[in-house]
Structure 1
């Protein structure tokens, strides 16, 4: 699924485009525990989280994630978006709760096969 589609499905605000909204993600991980992200993430994944700190970006970079979506209307500070921009990771924010955001992406065809 292209990040442009993710934006539309989640009615998300793009805060940082990373490598561009035409970037493909093959799976998603909805999680607030970064240790679980490290244990279970697959290639070209996207992280959906309500946790707003620099460790989220550092974890996403370590796992070669292409995008981070902050849920529940959370808005990261400038330090977070700047670090993501440097690491070429797209950042979005949606008002949806984590459960609903993951469900909408699944319904739209983003499966972790």
Structure 2
């Protein structure tokens, strides 16, 4: 099942920092990682990347992979440069207060599947 970024936002009670104009973009799957090497090896174009990391490496990796949206967990406030980079690459960015585990679980319970082929 796929869902729009607006639905991801609602499920995660997220705040959109970048991409208010992209809420109809479709997310095809979800993945969670704090190691960007794992993202490079497993992420799919159009997937949501959930992470607690707020370094520019996340944005650059998301751009390379073609991630559909980035979700920062645990209520972390990304640095201004991080937000600016997401905006310049046109990558939707949101934050949620939920932990990585709970955020993934909420998306899974609502139909988003992971990137490990368990559709």
TM-score range, shorter chain: over 0.9
Contact 1:66 1:90 in 2 (8 A): yes
Match of 1:98 in 2: 100
Q: Unmatched 5+ residue regions in structure 2?
A: none
Q: Which runs of 4+ in 1 moved over 3 A?
A: none
Measured after TM superposition, the shift of residue 19 of structure 1 is 5.7
Whether contact under 8 Å (2:47, 2:67) holds in the other structure is yes
Q: Which residue of 2 aligns with 1:107?
A: 109
Q: C-alpha displacement at 1:78, in angstroms?
A: 1.2
What RMSD in Å do the two structures reach over aligned CA positions?
1.1
Query: Residue in 2 aligned with 1:89?
Result: 91
Q: TM-score, structure 1 length as denominator?
A: 0.96
Contact 1:18–1:84, Cα closer than 8 Å, also in 2: no
Deviation at 1:57, TM superposition (A): 0.4
Q: 1:75 aligns with which of 69, 72, 77?
A: 77
Aligned counterparts of 1:81 and 1:67: Cα–Cα separation in 2 = 13
**Contact 2:44-2:66 within 8 A present in 1 as well:** no
Is the Cα–Cα contact under 8 Å of residues 18 and 89 in structure 1 kept in the other structure? no
Report the TM-score, using the length of structure 2 for normalisation.
0.91
* Residues 28-86 of structure 1: per-residue CA shift (max 9 Å, x gap): 11110100000111221110000111100000000001110000001111111111111
